[in-house]
Copies of this chain bind each other. A is one copy, B any other.
């Protein structure tokens, strides 16, 4: 199928997927660029490929060809690529034993980078609190480098979710300098089953959430430095929680 008109209903739909509300209603989103398209393909998440009309991509998928003008209409990039795909939201999977909870991360780049690190360090499920930036924000998707298809990401109201975890005896870790434990000193036993909570870039984890933690962790660093970027701090703790020695 070749579409040439900006007024085509499919084009209008692709363009509308820039809005979070519409993505959530449709349970669909767009990815752009070869790398993301291939990661989505490997996980069976593609509904249809969207290619500029002279582009060739030998994947056995329904394909919609469009003009360069249409690509420019529907892209979220300054310099668009010729390869896009319409994807369905991944289905929720079981929680697993290694859980990362994000309470109020606001920067799409931080969220994407954290998802990439979580995939690298064997997190089973990432739980986004209600005040966290949208997973399907195009900037978030790009920053994940396709890793959003490799980790189970779900949304929850955090306060009641933490109560559920407590019933399941999953230890909850927060971060705090006072009364904290150096993340380097964690035992192997502490690393097999946990829910780590990381908070907002400026404010950290909400006080009412922090109260529910069983253990507090910190990263040892120079006294002159107040804190690390949240995606860095999260990644270092996940790296330690993945360490076996």
B232 touches A117 (CB 8 A): yes
List of B residues within 8 angstroms of A109 by Cβ:
109
List of B residues within 8 angstroms of A113 by Cβ:
229, 231-232
List of B residues within 8 angstroms of A239 by Cβ:
219, 236, 239
List of B residues within 8 angstroms of A219 by Cβ:
120, 239
* Stretch with Cβ within 8 A of B (4 or more), from A18-26, A69-77, A143-151: A143-151
Tell me the minimal C-beta distance from A64 to chain B in angstroms: 28
Interface size class, chain A = 20 to 34
Cβ-based interface call for A186 (8 A): no
How many chain copies? 2
Cβ-based interface call for A243 (8 A): yes
Cβ-based interface call for A222 (8 A): yes
Cβ-based interface call for A224 (8 A): yes
Contact of A226 among B145, B221, B227, B236 (CB under 8 A): B145
A119 touches B229 (CB 8 A): no
Contact of A184 among B225, B235, B245 (CB under 8 A): B245
Tell me the minimal C-beta distance from A239 to chain B in angstroms: 5
A121 touches B235 (CB 8 A): no
Tell me the minimal C-beta distance from A41 to chain B in angstroms: 14
Cβ-based interface call for A2 (8 A): no
List of B residues within 8 angstroms of A117 by Cβ:
228-229, 232
A-B CB contact pairs (8 Å), 26 listed: A109-B109, A113-B229, A113-B231, A116-B225, A116-B228, A116-B229, A116-B232, A117-B229, A117-B232, A119-B225, A120-B221, A121-B222, A122-B222, A143-B229, A145-B226, A145-B227, A145-B229, A150-B224, A219-B239, A221-B242, A228-B235, A229-B231, A231-B231, A235-B236, A236-B239, A239-B239
